[in-house]
Chains A and B, each alone.
Chain A
Amino acid sequence: MSAIQEPFSEGQSLVHRLDPRGKIGVAALFAVLLATANNYATILTGLALSLVCLALAGLPLRKVAARLLVVNSFIFFLWLVLPLTYPGDVVWELGPLSASRQGLLFTGLITLKSNAIIIILITLVATVPVITLGQALQNLRLPDKLCHLLLFTYRYLYVFEEEFHRLLQALKIRGFQPRTNLHTYRTYAYLAAMLLVRSYDRADNVYRAMLCRGFNGTFYSLKTFSWQRQDHSFLAASLLAAAALGYLEWLQPSLG
């Protein structure tokens, strides 16, 4: 089974049916707001909002949780270091190690912030299939070349991965066992290089085939975006929520 999947892009929920352009804009707005926030009240509200979106999207919660667990590895690493090194009042001691209250609060803040933003990313952006996303970004006036690059890269990911597993299988059949030695590194390097050469040829063929069929640098899509009433409501609700977050962050310092 392919390791590269879009488990969240399929679904019929309200969130899946919203216009991708609106979702991208709102996700970017909230990600920036939360990333700049420094206040527990703001971030907890943001986390609650992201969980509401998650519930509305009806995504498989088990998969979301598994994903969050993996993504939190860097955060986990911060928990091991930051509370011990952050200067402040000592709340916990074990031999030479001591954890500070400020350190724990700071790390907790980062953890909540990080997860809130990731949940927003999962519910609002990962619910759009990548192909649609490429078209939506083009519609939002991102450079054409960049969007083409995104669509081509996405297409090649699968080609690459398939080829990678084929070559890996060939290695295994020949009794290859990865160890810490030069032979292993050379083998992996040749594997990667062969992957590049094969895909390069394939890309070339695809491009020629496209030229033969009259490709002139534009992708025509049968899908058109339509901005509907539900998108208006979604945008309005999001702007209100964003204003509330901004109010909590900048006008209510006492709550922190």
Chain B
Amino acid sequence: MHISEGVLSPAVLAGGAVLTVVGTAVGLKKVDYEAIPRVAILSAAFFVASLIHVPLGPVGLHLVLNGLMGLLLGWMAVPAILIALFLQALLFQFGGLTVLGVNTVTMAAPAVLCFYAYRGLLRHPGTPAAIGAFACGFSAVLLSGLLVALALISTGQAFLEVAQLVLLAHIPIMIIEGIITLFIYLFLQKVRPEMLEGIYAS
């Protein structure tokens, strides 16, 4: 979920921007020139995922895939998500310039956290890895929802109800993201296991 321009307070915007700069610096340190095309592919994937609508009853939800980004990229997910969000702001005007920092934090921080939280599980092929992959997709969206809610509430108590509704809307997305991340993981494991090497790196 992108927060629009003009909604959040300057303090929240500044906080998001600072965290994004730090996260991007850490992420870029880990990207060498050889890895740039690979990171760019996932960045583009994250962008295009928002165009894929998955039906849930009468409504269509679009994929987020930030859990998968974390799973495949670790810290490098931060610059990748930053670039994807920047391009979305530029080409579709989703999100925006001043909220770029906050939106990057709400999407990328869960990705990085989930990478470290579930890496242990994902290293054991079979049921543990499957559980890890589902949990990765599920909790990344859960954390994103919580961070969006937190950004709104920190702006003002007036946003309490809005934040609650936003969080509520994330619940179906969490389940679908979990399932989709799980299947993508199983597919990659079978077809192209070398794409999952990031999990084993120290």
Chain B residues whose CB sits within 8 angstroms of the CB of A114 once the complex forms: 4-7, 96
CA distance A85 to B159 in the complex (A): 8
In whole Å, how far is A150's beta carbon from the nearest beta carbon of chain B? 5
Are A74 and B36 closer than 8 Å at their CB atoms? no
Is residue B171 within 8 Å, beta carbon to beta carbon, of the partner chain? no
Are A35 and B40 closer than 8 Å at their CB atoms? no
Nearest residue, chain B, Cβ from A43: B6
Find A35's partner among B6, B28, B39 (CB 8 Å cutoff): B6
Are B162 and A153 closer than 8 Å at their CB atoms? no
Binds A, one of B76-84, B104-112, B122-130: B76-84
Are A74 and B3 closer than 8 Å at their CB atoms? yes
Is residue B51 within 8 Å, beta carbon to beta carbon, of the partner chain? yes
Find A153's partner among B6, B47, B160, B187 (CB 8 Å cutoff): B47
Chain B residues whose CB sits within 8 angstroms of the CB of A250 once the complex forms: none
What is the number of residues of chain A that contact chain B, defined by CB distance less than 8 Å? 82
Chain A residues whose CB sits within 8 angstroms of the CB of B179 once the complex forms: 182, 185, 189
Are B45 and A195 closer than 8 Å at their CB atoms? yes
Is residue A125 within 8 Å, beta carbon to beta carbon, of the partner chain? yes
- Residues from 157 to 176 in A contacting B, C-beta threshold 8 Å: 157, 159-161, 164
Are A192 and B98 closer than 8 Å at their CB atoms? no
- How does the 8 Å CB contact mask read for B80-93 relative to A, with 1 for contact and 0 for none? 10111011011111
Count A/B pairs, Cβ under 8 Å.
Answer: 218
Are A78 and B7 closer than 8 Å at their CB atoms? yes
In whole Å, how far is B197's beta carbon from the nearest beta carbon of chain A? 12
Is residue B41 within 8 Å, beta carbon to beta carbon, of the partner chain? yes
Is residue A11 within 8 Å, beta carbon to beta carbon, of the partner chain? no
Nearest residue, chain B, Cβ from A86: B158
Is residue A41 within 8 Å, beta carbon to beta carbon, of the partner chain? no
Is residue B139 within 8 Å, beta carbon to beta carbon, of the partner chain? no
In whole Å, how far is A252's beta carbon from the nearest beta carbon of chain B? 19
Are A125 and B6 closer than 8 Å at their CB atoms? no
Find B83's partner among A35, A77, A149, A180 (CB 8 Å cutoff): A149
Chain A residues whose CB sits within 8 angstroms of the CB of B176 once the complex forms: 185
- How does the 8 Å CB contact mask read for B170-189 relative to A, with 1 for contact and 0 for none? 00000010011111100110
Given A32-B98, A71-B93, A180-B55, answer yes or no on A85-B158 (Cβ-Cβ < 8 Å): yes
Are B161 and A81 closer than 8 Å at their CB atoms? yes
Is residue B48 within 8 Å, beta carbon to beta carbon, of the partner chain? yes
Given A114-B7, A192-B45, answer yes or no on A156-B40 (Cβ-Cβ < 8 Å): yes
Are B195 and A197 closer than 8 Å at their CB atoms? yes
The chain A residues found within 8 Å of chain B, CB to CB, are: 3-6, 27-28, 31-32, 34-36, 67-68, 70-72, 74-75, 77-78, 81-82, 85-87, 103, 106, 110-118, 121-122, 125-126, 130, 133, 143, 145-146, 148-150, 152-157, 159-161, 164, 178-180, 182, 184-186, 188-197, 199-200, 203-204, 206-207, 217
12 pairs of residues in contact across A and B, judged by CB atoms under 8 Å:
A27-B97, A114-B96, A115-B6, A121-B90, A125-B90, A157-B47, A161-B51, A178-B54, A197-B188, A199-B45, A203-B38, A203-B40
